[in-house]
């Protein structure tokens, strides 16, 4: 069956790029997406409205750093600032001073 679907321009561009990247058609991706929505059980409202405890929360953007992120239990701003300060302190202790070296002007000998 055919259907007409109106997409936001930006969303449709992203869809076309993703279809090309996967080597599939837009139609196939849309069909897969609709199947996924219909076949996935709907979450219960109590689960959807559940407040996530801060200790359970892990930022999605950690990506490749997920292992390190899981090792940290406190993601508060105070903990982040303390971690940055510790990192700066250890890097300055290990690294030599990065102050520019001042070279005195070369003394020129004048003929007598």
pLDDT grade for 69, boundaries at 50, 70 and 90: low
What pLDDT shows up at residue 54? 58
Q: What is the 3-state secondary structure (H, E, C) of 22-66?
A: HCCCHHHHHHHHHHHHHHCCCCCHHHHCCCCCCCCCCCHHHHHHH
pLDDT tens across 35-67, in order? 998 988 877 655 556 666 655 665 555 555 666
Q: Is the pLDDT of residue 26 over 90?
A: yes
Q: Where are the domains of the chain?
A: 1-41, 52-92
Q: For the chain, give the percent of residues with pLDDT over 70.
A: 52
């Amino acid at each position: 069956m055919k259907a007409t679907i109106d997409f936001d321009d930006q969303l449709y561009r992203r869809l076309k790029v993703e279809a090309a990247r996967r080597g599939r058609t837009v139609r196939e991706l849309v069909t897969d997406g609709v199947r996924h929505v219909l076949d996935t059980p709907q979450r219960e409202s109590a689960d959807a409205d559940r407040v996530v405890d801060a200790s359970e929360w892990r930022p999605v953007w950690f990506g490749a750093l997920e292992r390190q992120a899981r090792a940290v239990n406190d993601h508060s701003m105070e903990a982040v600032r303390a971690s940055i300060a510790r990192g700066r302190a250890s890097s300055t202790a290990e690294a030599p001073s990065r102050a520019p070296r001042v070279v005195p002007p070369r003394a020129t000998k004048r003929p007598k």
